[in-house]
């Protein structure tokens, strides 16, 4: 294959971590900016219902897509380990496999959109106006599901090979186009919530086309269509086992996030809109820390493939140092400028007031979220998916206990506390499993 050869897993330096991480941080930064623009353009309408509708619709669609998040995570772990072990043919075969899975998964989502959307509002109905607008939004966006899901797999493959500049180009193109279309369709043409959805639909399909072009070197050699290797039973079994565990883990995580948004809808449209505004802060945190988590995925996977425990530990340490610095910086920014950011995102005074009252939770989120995000990256790179699944199950139960005990007493404040407690639980439980992971890399 013609793609660049990754450096030795033994050569773990701050410069190498940053070379992988910074393009991811920059590319990920465009995603919450997009979410903020989505919220901001409908916020200019001066009504709470459109903001809530985009929030509910986006989180339901995102939750459905991220059920297939195993495709990115599992692909990064498996590909980086194959790269570290020098198995180039398997690296190529993995790209073909993830594209096939991504397209099939997207078509399945389109086919099941009726019961999926109905189930979401059956579990936690919003107001009639919000629900109607949200259904209109989701009805457009769902038709880009094959593209959105396939992009996860291609992104994971590129990250494993440390080709993160390509990931940056894909994300900047896709989200930049989305933002421009948002402004045109909503503010220029007055298409409202449907305009936001159509902009995302067009951007996701164009993003997949660009992603495939970025992988063009892999398609110029026959390895990608070596069908006996692509459908090798042992490789498929391992991929299925890893991805099934990650799928269960992702379902539990998305159950937390979706239930948070839908339970928030029960406190009224204004509180729902305020939560949606603050979730953009959480998305910024997640995507900033994910940059370093993605770096550690690639490096840990390559170190494990090469059976190099020293490189594994150093990868985890250096990436976590940079992640910690980023988390602290975000907490300071949210504390100092959070109110200004809220005012920019919505002109509705009641929504502004609601968001400000819950802002302290967003100041705490980067700090308590550091450990789970970094440990997720470490365990993904090592394909220790069973540990991820089991520790997520424990954290989910802890979240449910928090919701059942805190929400009746504290309302929406209790809901935010339960969410942060789930972050802490994920960090602690995965941290207890790290020593065993490191021992597994000793050759």
**Distance between CA 334 and CA 376 in Å, rounded?**
24
3-state secondary structure (DSSP) of residue 443: coil
The three-state DSSP-derived secondary structure of 267-293 is CCHHHHHHHHHHHHHHHHHHHHHHHHH
Rounded to whole angstroms, the maximal C-alpha distance in the chain is 62
Q: Tens of pLDDT along the chain (443 residues)?
A: 444 444 455 588 899 999 999 998 888 767 656 666 767 777 666 566 667 767 777 778 877 887 788 898 999 999 999 888 888 888 889 999 999 999 999 999 999 888 888 887 776 566 766 777 777 888 888 899 999 999 999 999 999 999 999 999 998 899 889 888 988 887 788 787 778 889 989 999 999 999 999 998 888 878 788 898 889 888 899 999 999 999 899 889 888 988 888 888 888 888 888 888 888 888 788 878 888 999 999 999 998 888 888 889 999 999 999 999 999 999 999 999 988 888 887 777 888 888 898 999 999 999 999 999 999 999 999 999 999 999 999 999 999 999 999 999 998 999 999 999 999 999 999 999 999 888 887 75
185 CB-near residues (< 8 Å, 6+ apart): 191, 195, 196, 198, 199
Give domain limits for the chain.
14-440
**Distance between CA 330 and CA 197 in Å, rounded?**
29
433 CB-near residues (< 8 Å, 6+ apart): 379, 384, 387, 391
Measure Cα distances from 124 to 261, 268, 271 in Å.
Answer: 9, 12, 15
**Half-sphere exposure of residue 79: CA atoms within 13 angstroms, side-chain side:** 29
pLDDT in tens, 236-245: 999 999 999 9
**Distance between CA 208 and CA 205 in Å, rounded?**
5
Could you tell me the two tokens for 140? 């457009």
């Amino acid at each position: 294959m013609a793609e660049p050869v990754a450096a030795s897993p033994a050569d773990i330096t701050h410069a190498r971590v940053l070379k992988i991480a910074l393009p991811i941080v920059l590319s990920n930064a465009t995603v919450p900016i997009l979410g903020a623009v989505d919220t901001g353009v409908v916020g200019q309408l001066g009504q709470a219902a459109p903001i809530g509708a985009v929030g509910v619709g986006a989180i339901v669609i995102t939750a459905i897509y991220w059920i297939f998040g195993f495709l990115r995570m599992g692909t990064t772990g498996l590909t980086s380990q194959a790269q570290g072990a020098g198995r180039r043919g398997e690296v190529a075969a993995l790209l073909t496999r993830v594209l096939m899975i991504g397209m099939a998964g997207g078509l399945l989502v389109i086919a099941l959109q009726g019961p999926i959307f109905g189930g979401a509002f059956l579990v936690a109905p919003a107001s009639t106006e919000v629900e109607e607008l949200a259904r209109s939004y989701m009805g457009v966006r769902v038709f880009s599901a094959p593209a959105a899901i396939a992009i996860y797999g291609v992104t994971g493959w590129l990250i494993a090979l440390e080709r993160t500049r390509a990931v940056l180009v894909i994300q900047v193109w896709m989200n930049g186009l989305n933002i421009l279309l948002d402004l045109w369709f909503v503010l220029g043409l007055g298409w409202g919530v449907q305009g936001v959805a159509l902009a995302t639909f067009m951007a996701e399909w164009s993003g997949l086309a660009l992603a495939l072009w970025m992988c063009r070197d892999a398609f110029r050699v026959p390895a990608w269509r070596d069908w006996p290797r692509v459908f090798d039973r042992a490789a498929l079994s391992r991929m299925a086992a890893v991805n099934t565990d990650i799928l269960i883990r992702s379902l539990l995580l998305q159950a937390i996030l979706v239930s948070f948004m839908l339970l928030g809808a029960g406190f009224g449209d204004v509180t729902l809109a305020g939560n949606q505004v603050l979730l953009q802060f959480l998305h910024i945190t997640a995507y900033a820390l994910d940059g370093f988590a993605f770096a550690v995925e690639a490096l840990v996977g390559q170190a494990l493939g090469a059976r190099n425990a020293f490189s594994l530990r150093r990868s985890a340490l250096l990436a976590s140092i940079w992640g910690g610095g980023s988390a602290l910086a975000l907490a300071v920014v949210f504390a100092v400028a959070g109110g200004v950011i809220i005012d920019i995102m919505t002109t509705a005074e009641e929504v502004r007031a609601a968001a400000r009252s819950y802002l302290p939770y967003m100041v705490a989120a980067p700090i308590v979220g550091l450990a789970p995000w970094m440990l997720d990256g470490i365990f993904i790179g090592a394909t220790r998916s069973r540990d991820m699944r089991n520790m997520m199950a424990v954290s989910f139960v802890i979240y449910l206990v928090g919701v059942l005990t805190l929400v009746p007493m504290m309302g929406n404040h209790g809901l935010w506390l339960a969410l942060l407690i789930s972050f802490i639980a994920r960090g602690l439980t995965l941290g207890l499993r790290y020593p065993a992971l490191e021992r597994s890399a000793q050759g």
